[in-house]
Amino acid sequence: MNAIYLEKGHAIGKDANILNEDVSLPALVLYQDKIANNIQWMKNFSEKYAVQLAPHAKTTMTPKILTAQLAAGAWGMTVANPVQAQSALNAGCQNILMANQLVGKANMSIIADMLEHHDIQFYCVVDSVANVRALDQFFTERSLTLNVLIEIGADHGRCGCRTEEHVKSVVQALNTSTSLRLSGVEFYEGVIHGDDEITQVRNFIHWVVKIFKSDFFQSSIHSENPILTGAGSAWYDIVCEVFQEADLHPSVRRIIRPGCYVIHDMGIYEDAQAQVMLRNMHCQASDTALQSAMELWAYVLSIPEPGVAIVGFGKRDVAFDAGLPTPLTYYHAGDKAPITIESGTCVVKDIMDQHAFMTFSVDLQVGDMISFGTSHPCLTFDKWREIAVIDSSFNIIDRYKTYF
């Protein structure tokens, strides 16, 4: 007998519909029109500041979404490791920016193979003399040239040079290398926290730009279009504003790297985007906004106590690091449409591996379906190998595969 293995959210038949119970729940679903809206919104925003987009692929690791972002004019894709770089390449990406250090022979080999067999531009970051020497030895032996960006980091943050002297030592090592080509600067401001974060973020980016524009750095760059790149999903507007203020040479390629905008959420990035909308004049003038494009659907499995429902999803299905899912609608079989859940009438209190504990004060029954909004889309996407795409009538119109 041939074994049959099903993915979560398995659909029965060709014309499956969520409300008709044609889909095995729990199921993660995406709204195609909202994804398209979000891609266009960020494209419009980036054009206001004459910056280019390299969205972070780690958010979705979904070729059909990466392809849509590229088709909408993204310069390239950002990745975190060589395996993700291969997925970006498979999606047709020709400019791949790995916002991380390339360490280890197996990882270097993946990139070397890509460079040998494909006409692409690949960039990784360096922040140490040791890494420069290891990369130079490996890529010299392979007779390849590797583009690198100096990473400059914030105090108490992640990777990156912390002082100008540190940057100079890495630049000097690059100047004596055989196979490495200094192509610009990369930074990430999203690790900055504390009092008056906006001022801290601005000051950090101004400091990075000062180093980038310095004579010692510019004299070591080997690129007609040196790259200056930063920005996650929270401070991209501030990054763009500082770039605009910096009087950069027209040849500089200014790149921002937000990732979560394409899906958005109903948690930390909804909050972050609300702050962007308050402080940025271009956002205030826009007649559109980012929309949460993802929902989790699940059944009420049990009502073991009055006002307490056990819902059929858990930590295996949804992110829980940045807030628990938000109940959005509930649906009784046979109703015309799902009913909107008013704030506070249904609240997820806790989740286990496969169960969620939800208090409620609406007319719920065992077997009802509930849709949930989520926070931090990256850590929901990576729990699904296939995701249903639906239209406004809850019909399944496509299935997207993920490759984490």
In a domain, 16, yes or no: yes
pLDDT tens profile 222-278: 999 999 999 999 999 999 999 999 999 999 999 999 999 999 999 999 999 999 999
What letters, b where the CB count within 10 A reaches 16 and e where it falls short, cover 145-175?
Answer: ebbbbbbbbbeebebbbeeeebbbebbebbe
On whether residue 386 sits in a domain, the answer given is yes
Structure tokens at 113: 């193979």
Beta pairing, strands 121-126 & 146-152: parallel
Answer yes or no: do 258 and 297 share one domain. Answer: no
pTM: 0.95
Is residue 221 domain-shared with residue 127, that is, in the same domain?
A: yes
pLDDT value at residue 39 = 98
Number of neighbours of residue 214 by Cβ within 10 angstroms: 15
Q: Assess if residue 279 is contained within a domain.
A: no
Number of domains the chain contains: 2
What the block records as the tokens of 97 is 């920016």
pLDDT given at position 24: 97
Residues 55, 26 share a domain:
no
Per-residue model confidence (pLDDT) at position 144: 98
Check pLDDT > 90 for residue 148.
Answer: yes
Contact between 26 and 356 under an 8 Å Cβ cutoff? The reply is no
Structural domain including 299 reads 10-30+290-401
Mean pLDDT of the chain: 96
Whether residues 380 and 240 share a domain: the answer is: no
CB 207 within 8 A of CB 161: no
The reported pLDDT for the residue numbered 1 is 75
Number of Cα atoms under 13 Å in the Cβ half of residue 371: 24
Q: Give the domain CATH number at 326.
A: 2.40.37.20
Q: What's the rounded mean pLDDT across residues 334-350?
A: 96
Q: What is the pLDDT of residue 194?
A: 87
